[in-house]
Amino acid sequence: MQFYTDVHMTRVLSIFEFQKHFATEDKCFDHLVAVRWPDGFKCPKYNHSGAYIIKARKLFQCKSCKHQTSVTAGTCFHRLRQPLRLLFWAVYLVATNKKGISALELQRKLDIRSYQTAWTLLHKIRSGMTSSCLFLLSGDVEVDETYIGGSRSGSTGRGADNKQLVAVAVEKLGKKMGRNYFQHASKDELGAFVKEYVTKRSSVITDGFPSYKHLKDEYNLDQKKLYSPERAMELLPNVHIVITNTKAWLRGTFNRYPAPKHLKRYLNEFEFRFNRRWKLDNIFDKLLNRCLLTNNITYAELTG
Ligand SMILES: [Zn+2]
């Protein structure tokens, strides 16, 4: 069978266009199939090509091994009970809202009965925002670490409630910024963070933490002495702008810092938006595609 969709998204669709293109469950279904299998059905079990479609149940049966599957099976939307139209709107709102959306706002906008459903759906979409890490940072890269979380804004360091040490790296492109990455890290893991996210032989500009020292064999390491916050802002301006913006975004959009076990998914979301801020053309399809490539995460797993 042939899969097709009449929607070719080369730019951000307006709300009117989006509503028109995805007006029915069938239109959403066809589009989901086209995004998941752009070159035609691929059997998830043995990678066979070709399937019969069981229309009434929206299931695909592999022509070779008879394995039955749905378009969302094995993805982060696995066994989701909500209509596809609601799912499409949720992905559209998350992808196109410049500052993201809270679970409460998503619940109100899409008239979702329970807050828990909206919260879980949002975390599923957020897990699709995890970076593929195919593009490591290179050139001049500023690296620093910060504590995120906790209810008391003034307290920092190990003693503070729920505060997580987060390593941050940002590419410096002349007067502009390139891509960025975050990672939870202990003080001893900061060097490993750089090795994971920054191309070897790049210039790494950072502070005097001892755990960066061993990077000097593989990177052009420039460890600055930061005597005060003002001096840190002056010597590592880009990474500090990213840190300030991340904290302001968490407080502004969600009213509080996320619990430590959820923080990485929020940082993934910030990273996703930041690294695509100049490439918004088909952001809905990109996020939908990422969600289809991401394993399911359930409410029990999120809260366990
Ligand atoms: Zn098969």
For residue range 178-219, what is the model confidence (pLDDT) as tens digits? Answer: 999 999 988 899 999 999 999 999 999 999 888 899 999 999
pLDDT for the residue numbered 13? 82
Tens of pLDDT, residue by residue over 53-64, are 998 888 999 999
Residue predicted with more confidence, 160 or 78: 78
Query: HSE on the CB side for 210, CA within 13 Å?
Result: 1
Q: How deeply is 45 buried, as exposed, middle or buried, from its count of CB atoms within 10 A (0-12, 13-18, 19+)?
A: middle
Asked whether 22 and 31 are in contact (CB, 8 A), the reply is: yes
The dihedral formed by the CA atoms of 198, 202, 205 and 210, expressed in degrees to the nearest 10 = 70
The dihedral sign for the CA sequence 297, 132, 213, 246: negative
The CA 40 to ligand 1 mean position distance, Å, reads: 13
| Residues measured by CB to lie within 5 Å of ligand 1, the ion | 43, 46, 48, 62, 64-65, 67
The CA 80 to ligand 1 mean position distance, Å, reads: 23
Residue predicted with more confidence, 136 or 228: 136
User: Which of 6-15, 26-35, 39-48, 204-213 is predicted with the least confidence, judged by mean pLDDT?
Assistant: 6-15
Averaged pLDDT of the chain: 89
The CA 44 to ligand 1 mean position distance, Å, reads: 7
pLDDT higher than threshold 60 for residue 153:
no
With a pLDDT cut of 90, the percent of the chain lying above it is 67
pTM of the model: 0.88
pLDDT band at residue 159 using 50, 70 and 90 as cut-offs: very low
Question: How many Å is the maximal CA-CA distance in the chain?
Answer: 68
Asked whether 208 and 224 are in contact (CB, 8 A), the reply is: yes
Q: Which two tokens stand for residue 12?
A: 């951000």
Distance CA 270, CA 39 (A): 31
What's the rounded mean pLDDT across residues 101-127? 95
Distance CA 149, CA 177 (A): 25
The CA 17 to ligand 1 mean position distance, Å, reads: 37
pLDDT for the residue numbered 151? 61
Distance CA 53, CA 68 (A): 9
pLDDT band at residue 79 using 50, 70 and 90 as cut-offs: confident
User: Which of 13-17, 201-205, 238-242 is predicted with the least confidence, judged by mean pLDDT?
Assistant: 13-17
Q: Which two tokens stand for residue 261?
A: 């076990």
Asked whether 101 and 93 are in contact (CB, 8 A), the reply is: yes
Angle at CA 121, nearest 5°, toward 73 and 4?
45
What's the rounded mean pLDDT across residues 237-251? 94
Asked whether 147 and 156 are in contact (CB, 8 A), the reply is: yes
Distance CA 68, CA 59 (A): 7
The CA 32 to ligand 1 mean position distance, Å, reads: 20
The CA 45 to ligand 1 mean position distance, Å, reads: 6
pLDDT higher than threshold 60 for residue 262:
yes
Top-ranked range on mean pLDDT: pick from 104-108, 212-216, 258-262: 104-108
The CA 47 to ligand 1 mean position distance, Å, reads: 6
What's the rounded mean pLDDT across residues 79-96? 93
pLDDT higher than threshold 60 for residue 160:
no
Q: Which two tokens stand for residue 218?
A: 């593989």
